[in-house]
Amino acid sequence: MVIVMKSGASLEQINNVIKWVKELGYSPHPSVGVERTVIGAVGDERGKMILKNAEMMSGVEKVVAILKPYKLASRETRVANTVVDVGGVKIGAGNFVVMAGPCAVESEEQIMQSAYIAQKGGAQIMRGGAYKPRTSPYNFQGMEEDGLKLLAQAREKTGMLFATEVVNPGDVDLVESYSDILQIGARNVQNFALLKRVGSSRKPVLLKRGMMTTIEEFLMSAEYILSSGNDNVILCERGIRTFETATRNTLDISAVCVLKELTHLPVIVDPSHSAGNWRYVIPLSKAALAVGADGILVEVHPDPANAFCDGAQSLKAEKFYTLMAELRRMEEALGMRKLQ
């Protein structure tokens, strides 16, 4: 931490801060400037929120944090990319993984058709929600365990593994008994009880950024999972909330670059939820590949006009095949490892 004293702070005030920093077990490094005195507090700052309280003290202007608050998620701790292996599908290994399927599991017919579309297009992993966090209590809340069973049935028929969301710590036992990847949705990115619980699972976790979450907070949420013992975390940028309403959320494409620099964890992009409109999904998926993401999570539905949720942002089969063809062309051009 760096403690910045007010212009005109008295010697007594400065000495009080120095004394207090020492009492907390830190080594104070005062530096007297032309206008202000600045006091560095050297020590391991992580988890020592109390230093921040210096802002209460007389004569103090502000306290500036220097160290990154996450450790296990940081590239400083681990330089090499983490590769998450989901039944042989590698995520984060320089390839581009496509996870595709409907927003929600609605019926046997719908999930089987979706799975065949995903497979025919060349997706490696299937997605589909059985527990749906919905803004309104009056909207479809998901098929719950029946939905998990249908996903398992589709896996049996197609051989494709799947990711599905879990929303309640009390449901993790059940969901992990079916699912290949535990998905944590945007609204639960700071549901710490849930993060701790999936941190003790042996299944990989797909963690979506919240619509209000900074990149640093996002990495702190990953840190909850990592520090609970689960190393297999996949990060997913899915758009943030801004003043712009032309898209459902604003895809923070730069976050992919920033995350690839700060962390060793794989980073994928959800172009469907960020756009909220199927017409933008193809170009945004291509942008995700170009910017260096490790894959996408994309919504595909056999009949979007009758989807129970998010129909407007789901691709029909033909559009999905077009997307996959364009991604393959780009992968070759950029000399990437092939889609497996």
The partner residues of 127 in beta bridges, in order of sequence, read 163
Phi, psi of 203 (to 5 degrees): -85, 145
Q: Answer yes or no: are the C-beta atoms of 314 and 278 closer than 8 Å.
A: yes
Under rule CB under 8 A, residue 178 binds a second copy: no
Among 12, 76, 85, 109, binds a second copy (CB under 8 A): 76
- Residue closer to a second copy, measured from CB, 76 or 146: 76
Confirm or reject binding of residue 325 to a second copy (CB under 8 A). Answer: no
When asked if residue 138 is in the footprint of a second copy (CB under 8 A), the reply is yes
Nearest to 99 by CA among 234, 254, 233: 234
Determine the interface stretch with a second copy among 81-89, 108-116, 143-151, 182-190 (rule: CB under 8 A): 182-190
| Nearest to a second copy of 86, 128 (CB atom) | 128
For residue 87, what is the enclosing H or E element? none
- Are the C-beta atoms of 326 and 318 separated by less than 8 Å? no
Q: Which of residues 158 and 168 has its CB atom nearest to a second copy in the complex?
A: 168
Q: Which of 126, 235, 255, 268 binds a second copy (CB under 8 A)?
A: 255
Lay out the site mask for a second copy across 265-294 (x = CB under 8 A, - = otherwise): ---------xx-xxxx--xx-xxxxxxx--
171-179: which pairs have CB atoms within 8 A and are 24 or more residues apart? 171/131, 172/197, 172/198, 172/201, 174/145, 174/148, 175/130, 175/131, 175/148, 176/201, 176/202, 176/203, 178/148, 178/149, 178/151, 178/152, 179/148, 179/151, 179/203
Contact between 10 and a second copy per CB under 8 A: no
Size of the site for a second copy (CB under 8 A): 113
Only one of the segments 108-116, 121-129, 145-153, 303-311 lies at the binding site for a second copy (rule: CB under 8 A); that segment is 303-311
According to DSSP, the β-strands at 295-299 and 27-32 are unpaired
**53 lies in the binding site for a second copy (CB under 8 A):** yes
Query: For residues 92-131, which are near a second copy according to CB under 8 A?
Result: none
Instruction: Kindly tell me which of 80 and 246 has the beta carbon lying closer to a second copy.
Output: 246
